[in-house]
Structure 1
Amino acid sequence: MCNDNGTIDLFTLLVSADIGGTWTPMLNSTTGVFDPLVDSAGSYQYTVMNDCNTDTATITVNLTTAPNAGLDSTLDICVIDAPIDLLTQLGGTPDSTGTWLPMLNGGGNIFDPSVDTAGVYVYTVAATTPCSTDATSQIVIQVDDSAAPTVVNATLEFCATDDAMVMDLDAAVNGTMITWYNSIDSTTPLADADLLIDGTTYYATQTNATGCESSVRAQVSVVVGDAPTPTLSIDGNLFCINDSPTLENLIVNINEYDMISSNVVWYDAVDSSTALSLSTILVNGTTYYAALIDSVTGCESNVRLAVTTDLTACGKVIVPDGFSPNNDGVNDTFDVENLGFLYPNFKMEIYNRYGNLVYEGTNSTPRFNGFANQKALLSDGELPVGVYFYILNFNDGSTKPEQGRLYLSR
């Protein structure tokens, strides 16, 4: 019998049996009524007895399970979703031996939203004897898609110094919930902070209110412009502090510099965004950073040229031949311009015409102002007008001492 046939009284299957017997094993009903939903298939023995005899009869019950097509359900799916086994979407525990109508594109239970269409799909499991009623269920399938984003700018141009990121691509399209990929079929979204790559095509989708991402992707090409790092001529960083050099003097030593287009810009840091004025006075040992400007794209060098200035290239120092210490604010001291900067270990000795040392000074002592700083001379130290002689020791390990004469006037 089929397990969906309902109950049957096994006693009715016996021929001319006496009533009042017992069944072994006992049926769930405790009588002779067999219920296929709760009683098991097998042999059931009916026993009847009286004072004269005991008699038995056996009925063997074979059960065939009725077909199970599961329970009706619905399925909302997006075009870009992966194929899905419809059996897993039915309620209950459907048999796997059924068929679908209409037939799925793959011929089995797999629904592919990219090729199979929305609609009502009926699942039928055929009955096998002694069962006679086929089982059916259905799934109502809705396939949704979102339109691709609208492209408003098919090519975006950036400079390498912009550090453009994926989030900057949004300016090229109109849409909602935009997602970017680096290929037409990639399944891994790009992060907003990913840097854009020159010459790359990026692909955008948008997601609608139902959560479906567009199956068609919009394309946007990216151009990231850059300028080469400028180069410096040999010894282009060497200047003399006495000339008060500025960036205007330094810029002409850039090999790629074009005065007409003014294609070089200077900064005080490798990542600064504030350009320096060409009138900026150079400071010894300071590093300045040069960027070249591309004449076509207007982009600056992403990698800047670092130039550290050396302002000691002054050659032979110029020692004045006199001074006038009369407190008029002009030439009141005998001083060699930037001597302490160029030769910080120098020593200056000044002698009178008799060969007496009247002044000895270094970078840490006041400059010669017409007064002796040697104790052996006049008490007030003021020296008379006249010719004096100097010896200048540079003490740099290479420059020879220099000597000459000077005139002190008041």
Structure 2
Amino acid sequence: MGAGTLGGNTTGNIISADPLLMSLADNGGTTFTHAILPCPQGPAVNAGNDVVAPALDQREMPRNEAADIGSFESDLAQIDLSYSMIQPCENTSNGSITVTPQSTPEYTYQWDAASGNQTESTAIDLSAGFYNIMITDGNGCVKDTTFELISAPNPTIDPVVNQEECEFFTLIEITGTNLSGDESYYTESGGLGTSLIDGDVITSTQTIYMYDLLGNCDDEVSFDVIIHELPEVLSFTGEGEYCEGQLPQNIIVEVSGTPDFTLDYTINGAQTSIVSSEQNIDLGNTPGVYMITGIQDEFCENTSDLTQSIIVHLLPSAPETSGDQSFCTNEMILPIEAQGEPGSHSWYSDEGLTQLLSPEDQYLPENTPGIYTYYVTSTENDCEGPAQAVVIEIKICDVVIPTAFTPNTDGVNDTWNIVNLDLVYPNNVVSVYNRLGNKVFESQKGKYQEMPWNGFYNLEALPVASYYYIIEYNDENNKSETGYISIIK
């Protein structure tokens, strides 16, 4: 109570310092309990008419005709407030305390030296410990309260070393102590960016962050993921078929990756390998089937099953032919022919094999007088072998008619041999007559030289004499020739 005096029986006044009377709690009756607070400049409160007051006060004591102005329950002003605390993390000063008075008068706040003498309703940057605040309202009343902050456990994420992998890296489970259960991977620091979980696959080089938040405490661990692309075969060239005597191109393999390279391959099934610092790797030109089975670079390896082949075909031999031949201009020219060796044949007019006459097995020479050399080759698997020469003579042939012959069966000049007759005149007919005009011989048309006159008639030898003949050429000019042929013995 203030430093004044209270006088009177049913009414009274507070003299000198005016106390502030504040209602405490409604006790459910017509009696109200007040606290007389020693707050400076508090207004006086009229106690009211005690006639209506009950005979007993809230303590069940007789009132003695006095109004219930004071109360013994409290002699201080009550400042009701609520508060919230954020506990600091271990070995950090990230805790805070916020106080909120329940009424609306203006307040001032004074935290103790442990908090750094802060003067706001919220004290920040606090470590574990005790903190006191004095709250003063606009009437000078003070609320003194002490709070304790207790360290919260920090989550601790187990570190992960930097990862260097080929093609991809699979995130593993995050481990540590005091983890919240919501720990996760992120593509940016502070739990930002894309959230990732264990089992996710990283396919590009980047920094990965592991982050966990437990209350006001967090932990973050980062590591680098370096992804190397698999080395690959970009091109595989040099394949081809060649003929004996030709120089094959080299097999070249172009690869990607980081040198040095190791290329595993087979030639005709035999395993071999080559190490190179170049991206274009030369495997040579040995004939055979090349198969790449694997490639390694500085960091990674990859498989392959690409193939290339170098095939060298033997040259075919020179073909057999129908041989050298001679023809008359007025006889039928027969084709010259190549035989043997599989594949195709080609006829040329020059030894250098530049003037192709025919790509067939046969070639029909032109019927022009002269001596000609033709060259024929065999080609197999696009490989042309050496040439075989064939000489063909085309000549102008005359019919030679002997004037006598000796059919004495000695094997010499036993028939009348009319040279080139069938050759020059293939439709000829020869007739022979004795001096009496009797026909003693007539040939089949065009076959005189096959069955020439032997000096016989009806299987009997004719006597020595001269015989008249007629040769009908039966050509386009209906030409014929006559004369005498003598039998001599």
The TM-score with structure 2 as length reference comes to: 0.33
Which has the higher Rg, Structure 1 or Structure 2?
A: 2
Q: Which has the higher strand share?
A: 2
TM-score by length of 1: 0.39
